[in-house]
Amino acid sequence: MKPLEISLDTARRLAITCQHLTLPNKKPTQDNVLDIIHDLGCVQIDPVRAVERTHFLVLWSRLGSYDRNLLHTLLWEKRRLFEYWAHAASYVLTENYPIHQYQMHLVRHSAQRLKVRQWLEDNDLFRSYVLETLHKRGSLTSNQWLLRPAYIARRPINRTCRPKNG
């Protein structure tokens, strides 16, 4: 079968349309939010904001003004979305859980993860100290720890959160 040939202009228009980047013409509903995330594959979560958090901007750029509770309802009440490390920290469709489940299994049983578990077991006294301190004092920056034990703990914990090729 001969491949379909299209013009560069048509390819550009198709890419823009498939990314839902044409003028917002859909009502901001839960179904439309799900359609956008379905077509994009995921929506990256970025807690750092220069203007606004990424996941809110992505939906705003495609729907226009919308009620953020649409997203929160889909996440926390209807559970149609969940957070996962897809491309990066992202919201993904719950219906796609089986796609991510295999990767979750690999991470859960990886040699690096087992090393971290062993480190936590070997350093249970330190782990208990960290948890007790957090319980008493609440959230702390690394500069607020006496003798900076958070620096010691941060290394193996960060390794579990960082992607292999990241």
**110-136: pLDDT as tens digits:** 787 788 888 888 999 888 888 998 999
What domain count does the chain have? 2
Contact between 149 and 126 under an 8 Å Cβ cutoff? The reply is yes
Give the residue carrying structure tokens 């901001």. 28
Is residue 135 assigned to a domain? yes
**Beta strands, E only, the chain:** 43-44, 81-85, 89-93
89 shares a domain with 114 = no
**8-54: pLDDT as tens digits:** 999 999 999 999 998 767 889 999 999 999 999 999 998 777 888 89
**65-124: pLDDT as tens digits:** 999 999 999 999 999 999 998 878 999 999 999 989 988 888 777 787 788 888 888 999
Is residue 1 assigned to a domain? no
52 shares a domain with 15 = yes
Domain that holds residue 153: 110-161
* Tokens representing residue 45 in the block: 């979560």
Contact between 10 and 2 under an 8 Å Cβ cutoff? The reply is no
95 shares a domain with 18 = yes
Give the residue carrying structure tokens 């003798």. 147
137 shares a domain with 118 = yes
Residues 6+ apart with CB under 8 A from 150: 130, 140, 142
Residues 6+ apart with CB under 8 A from 130: 149, 150, 153
Residue type for 11, please?
Answer: A
Give the pLDDT band of residue 154 (cuts 50, 70, 90). Answer: low
Is residue 166 assigned to a domain? no
